[in-house]
A and B are shown apart, each in its own frame.
Chain A
Amino acid sequence: MFGQILVNGLVLSGSYALVAVGLTLTFGVMRMVNFAEGQSVMIGAFVAYTAVPYLGYVGAIAAAMAVNAVLGVILERTAFRPFRGVELNGLIASMGMSIVLVNVAELVWGTTPRPFETVYNETSINFGTVGISVQRLICVVASAAILLGLWWLVQYTSLGRKFRAVSEDHETAAAMGIDVNQVSRLALVIGSMMAASAGALTGPVNMITPDMGRTEMLNAFAAIILGGFGNVNGTILGALLIGMIQSIGAVYISNAYSTSISFALLVLTLVFFPRGLVPERVDENV
C-alpha cells in the first residue's frame, strides 16, 4: 500500500510542480505573484478538452500551450506591466483577471462538469500491488520532462541567463542592455504554458470545471514558499515534498484537512527556515 501512496504522491507532485514553477518563474523575474495561474490551468484544460477530437491528445496539449502563451501576453499587459514596483496592486489585478477568466470560461464552456476522456484513462499498468493508469503515468513522465526542459532553459540558454540576470537585479540587467519588458513577457508566457500543460495533463484525471485550479494553486503556493520564492530547483523540491506529504498525510493523518496539512508543514518549515529551504539571494547592507 505504501508503494501506491508514493505513486499517488508523485502524480500530485508533478501537477503541483508544473503550476508552481510557472508561478515561481514569474515571481523571480517580476517580483510579482500571478494569482490567475490557477485559472490558466483551467483554461489550458478546457482548450485541450476542446481540441482533443480534432488534434489528438498530444496535439491538444500543444494547442492548450499555444492558447495560454497568448493568455500570458494578455496577462502581462493587463495585470503586470502596469504595476511593476507596486506588486500588491499587481497581485490584486491578477485576482481581477482570474474573476474575468472564470466567467469567460463559464460563458464559453458552460458550468456542467465535463469528462475529459483520453484513450490512456482506460488502460492501467500494475507493478505488483502498485497500480497506475497510463494517463497518470503520462502525467508524471511528461511533467518530469517539461520541468527538465525548463531547468535546462534556465540554466544553459541565453534566455535563461537573462531570466537569472533580471531576477538578480532589474537595474543591472537593464544596464547590461537586457530588455526587461521582453524577458518579463516571456516569463509569463512560459509560466502560463506550464499551467496549460498542467491542465491538459491532469484534466483527464478528473472532471474539468471553470472553478478548477484553485486547490492546485494553493498547494503550488505552499510548494513555492517551501522551496524558496523565485527559485526553480527549490520549487520543484517543494512541490515534491507537498505532494508526498499530502498523499501520506491523507492516509495516516486525516483526509478532511489535506490542504491544512501541507500548510501546517509549510509554517513549521518557515519557523526554522524563514526564507524557505533553498533561500533566494538577498544582501542586507547594514
Chain B
Amino acid sequence: MKRRLATLIGALLLAMPSVALAQAGSKGTLKVGVLLPLTGNTAWAGKTNRIAAAIAAEEVNAQDLAGGYKLELAIGDSQCEPRPAHDQAERLIGQEKVQFLIGEFCSSASVAAAQVANDEKIPLLVNISTADQIAGDAGPYVFQSSMQNRYSQQREATLLQKDFKFESVAIIVENNDFGLSFRKNMIDLMQKAGKKVVLDVTQDRNDTNWYATITRIPPAKPDLVIVSISAVQAANFVKQYAEAGITTPLFSDYPPPPRIFERQVGAQAGKIGLVRATFFVKSDTNSPAQKEFVAKLEARVQKELNEAHDVTYWDVASYDAVRLVADAIKRGGPKPEAYLKAMAATNIDLVLGHYEFDDQRGSKPDGLNFVFIRTGPDGSIEVVQ
C-alpha cells in the first residue's frame, strides 16, 4: 500500500518516480504480467479471468510446476482498448518489471500489447484474442495459445455441413476482427462446398439495432442463417431474431459464452433452437481436470465477487495461459531465449485440451476442444458434436 501511495504521489507531482519503481522479482520469484479488462464493457469477463489466472498461479507455486521458481502475478487493467493495453504493457514491463506477459482479451488490445512486448523483448502469450497471425505478425517474442479464427472457421464449416441440411446460407457478421475474417473465410468455404450465399450483411459493431438486418432475411429465403457477432451483440441479435418470429435455423460463431448467454436470452435461443460453436462448455462430458477447475473457480468467484458464475472459455484460457508459462519456465528457465525455445516446444495437456505451437508461434488447433452446442427450449444446453 505504501508503494501504491508513493506511485500516486509520484504520478501526481510528476516527481522522481524512482520511488515508484517496483522492486524486481527477488531470486526465486518471477513476475508475470496479466493484461485484462477490469473496467469498461468487458470487465464482467475480465474479473473472472483474473481469478482463474490467480488460481493457476497458486497451483503452480503450491505444486512447484515452474521448475523451482515461484510466480507472482501483476495485473494491468487494459480495458479491452488498444491505448490502455499499450500503456499497461509498458507499465508492467517498466514499473512492475515483469519478465513475462499474458493477455489481452480484445484483439485490438492484444495487437497493442504484442507490439510492446516484442519491442521490449518480453515474451507475451496471447491467450484469448483469436485474430489470425497476431504472433506471426508481431515477432519472435509473441505466442498465441488461443485458437485462431481461420482454424475455428474451417472446423465450423465442416461441422455445419455434417449437422445441417442446407443449400443456401445468409451470412451476417459484425465489423470486428472475427466477424470480418469469419465473413471472408466462410463465404469461400461455403462456395467451395457448393452452397449459395443468398445474403451477406456486415453491421457496425456499435449499432445495437439489428431489425434492419433481420428484415432482410425472409425475402432472401436462406435455408440457414450463420452469424458471427460479439457476445453482447449476439444476445441482442438473438432476442430480436426470435422476436421477429423467423423460423430459419440459426447458427452462431463461438463468441456467446455458454450458460451466461443462456441466462440472458436462453428462452429466445431455445425457441430458435440456436446452434453455436464453442471452445468450452460446462457439461457432464467434461474431463476430470475440467470438472475440477469448474468447481474450484465457481466456488472462488462466489466467494470473491459473490455472484453465481458459469465458467467460460475465457476463464479456462486464462488458467491455461499461466500454466503454459510455468511449464515453459520449468523446461527452459526464465532466460528469454531458452524460455522462448521451450515455449515453442510446448507439448502439454491442460484444461482446455492439448497445446502445441506451429512455426508461426500460433497454437495448433487439433488438440484443442471445439464443440457444437444446441440451446434447448428450456434454455438448457445439449452438446451436438
The answer to the question of B367 belonging to the interface, with a C-beta cut-off of 8 Å to chain A, is no
Inside 8 A of B44's CB, which chain A residues have their CB?
110-113
Q: Determine whether the beta carbon of B207 is less than 8 Å from that of A258.
A: yes
Question: Does A4 sit within 8 A of B, measured CB to CB?
Answer: yes
The reply to whether the CB of A147 lies closer than 8 angstroms to some CB of chain B is: no
A111–B231 alpha-carbon span in the complex (Å): 13
Q: Is B152 an interface residue (CB 8 A)?
A: no
Which residues from 109 to 167 on chain A have a C-beta closer than 8 Å to any C-beta of chain B? 110-115, 121, 124, 126, 131, 133, 135-136
**A115 and B265 contacting across the interface, CB-CB below 8 Å:** yes
CB distance B206 to A259 under 8 Å? yes
* Interface size counted on chain B using CB atoms at 8 A: 36
Minimum distance in angstroms from A137 CB to a CB of chain B: 11
Asked whether, in the complex, the Cβ of A124 is within 8 Å of the Cβ of B216, the reply is: no
Contact A212 B208 (CB under 8 A): yes
Within the complex, what minimum Cβ distance (angstroms) separates A261 from chain B? 10
What separation, in Å, do the CA atoms of A97 and B7 have in the docked complex? 26
Contact of B231 among A8, A113, A214, A257 (CB under 8 A): A113
Q: Least Cβ distance of A203 to chain B in Å?
A: 11
**198-212 of chain B: CB within 8 A of chain A:** 201-204, 206-209, 211-212
User: What is the CA–CA distance of A1 and B239 in the complex, to the nearest angstrom?
Assistant: 20
Residues in B with CB closer than 8 Å to A131 are 244-245
Would B201 and A255 count as touching, CB distance under 8 A? yes
Q: Mark A209-250, 1 if CB is under 8 A from B, else 0.
A: 111101100000000000000000000000000000011001
The complex places the Cα of A250 from the Cα of B76 at a distance, in Å, of 38
| B-side contacts of A256, CB under 8 Å | 175, 202-204
For the complex, give the distance between the alpha carbons of A204 and B38 in Å.
Answer: 26
Contact with B along A256-283 (1 / 0, CB 8 A): 1111000000000000000000000000
B203 and A255 contact, CB distance less than 8 A: yes
Asked whether, in the complex, the Cβ of A207 is within 8 Å of the Cβ of B216, the reply is: no
Asked if residues B202 and A255 are in contact (CB atoms below 8 Å), the reply is yes
B283 on the A face (CB < 8 A): no
Q: What A residues does B29 contact at CB under 8 A?
A: none
**What is the minimal beta-carbon distance from B351 to any residue of chain A, in angstroms?**
23
B240 interface residue, CB < 8 Å from A?
yes
Most chain-B CB neighbours within 10 Å: which of A11, A103, A207?
A207
Which residues of chain B come closer than 8 Å to A205, judged between CB atoms?
A: 239-240
Partner among B39, B203, B263, B307 whose Cβ is within 8 Å of the Cβ of A103: B39
Is A5 among interface residues, defined by CB-CB distance under 8 A? yes
Contacts of B350 in A (CB 8 A): none
> Which residues of A are found within 8 Å of B235, using beta-carbon distances?
113, 115, 207
Tell me if A255 and B43 are in contact (CB < 8 A): no
Bound form: Cα–Cα A251–B43 in Å: 33
A206 contacts chain B at the CB level, 8 A cutoff = yes
Contact between A12 and B209 (Cβ–Cβ < 8 Å)?
yes
Known contacts A8-B211, A103-B39, A112-B260; A214/B206 CB under 8 A: yes
- CB of B41 within 8 A of CB of A251, answer no
Partner of B204, one of A8, A11, A103, A259: A259
Q: Report if A106 contacts B (CB, 8 A).
A: yes
Kindly list chain B residues whose C-beta atoms are within 8 Å of the C-beta of A126.
245
Distance between Cα atoms of A12 and B244 in the complex (Å): 16
CA distance A210 to B236 in the complex (A): 15
Q: When chains A and B are docked, how far (Å) is the Cα of A135 from the Cα of B232?
A: 20
Residues of chain A lying within 8 A (CB to CB) of residue B307: 110
Q: Is the CB of B207 within 8 A of A207?
A: no
- Convert A11-41 into 0s and 1s, putting 1 for each residue whose CB lies closer than 8 angstroms to a CB of B: 1100000000000000000000000000000
Cβ–Cβ contact A207 & B206, under 8 A: no
A5 interface neighbour in B175, B202, B215, B240, Cβ under 8 Å:
B215
Of B40, B204, B208, B236, the contact of A255 (CB 8 Å cutoff): B204
Is B194 part of the contact surface with A, judged by Cβ < 8 Å?
A: no
Which residue of A111, A121, A259 is within 8 Å of B243 (Cβ)?
A121
B209 cross-chain contacts in A, Cβ below 8 A: 8, 12, 246, 250, 258
A126 to B40, CA, bound (A): 39
Nearest Cβ distance between residue B122 and chain A, in whole angstroms?
29
Write the B211-252 contact mask toward A (1 if CB under 8 angstroms, else 0). Answer: 111011011000000000001100110011001110000000
Of A11, A113, A121, A135, the contact of B211 (CB 8 Å cutoff): A11
A114 contacts across to B, CB distance below 8 A: 264
Residue of A nearest to B237 (CB): A206
- A contact residues around B204 at 8 Å (CB): 255-259
Contact assessment for B244 and A259 in the assembled complex, using a CB-CB cutoff below 8 Å: no
A211 (CB) vs chain B CBs: closest residue? B41
Does B42 reach chain A (CB closer than 8 Å)?
A: yes
Give Cα A77 to B365, complex, Å.
57
Contact between B203 and A207 (Cβ–Cβ < 8 Å)? no
Q: How far is the CB of B34 from chain A (nearest CB, A)?
A: 18
Q: Least Cβ distance of A51 to chain B in Å?
A: 19
A207 to B239: give the CA distance in the assembly, Å.
Answer: 9
**A residues in contact with B207, CB < 8 Å:** 215, 255, 258-259
Please tell me which one of the listed residues A207, A211, A247 contacts residue B40 in the complex, with CB atoms under 8 A apart: A211
Q: How far is the CA of A242 from the CA of B173 in the complex (A)?
A: 24
In the complex, the answer to whether A251 meets B243 with C-beta atoms within 8 Å is no
Chain A residues closer than 8 Å to B215, beta-carbon distance? 1, 4-5, 8, 251
A to B CB contacts below 8 Å, 21 in the list: A1-B216, A1-B219, A5-B215, A8-B209, A12-B209, A110-B44, A121-B243, A126-B245, A131-B244, A205-B239, A207-B232, A207-B239, A210-B41, A214-B206, A247-B212, A250-B212, A250-B213, A251-B216, A255-B207, A255-B213, A258-B203
Which positions in A face B, CB cutoff 8 Å?
Answer: 1, 4-5, 8, 11-12, 103, 106, 110-115, 121, 124, 126, 131, 133, 135-136, 205-207, 209-212, 214-215, 246-247, 250-251, 254-259
Q: Given contacts A8-B209, A207-B235, could you give 12 more A-B pairs where the C-beta distance is less than 8 Å?
A: A1-B216, A1-B218, A1-B219, A110-B44, A111-B40, A126-B245, A207-B232, A209-B41, A255-B201, A256-B202, A256-B203, A259-B206
Q: Which 3 A-B pairs have the closest CB atoms?
A: A250-B212, A112-B44, A111-B43
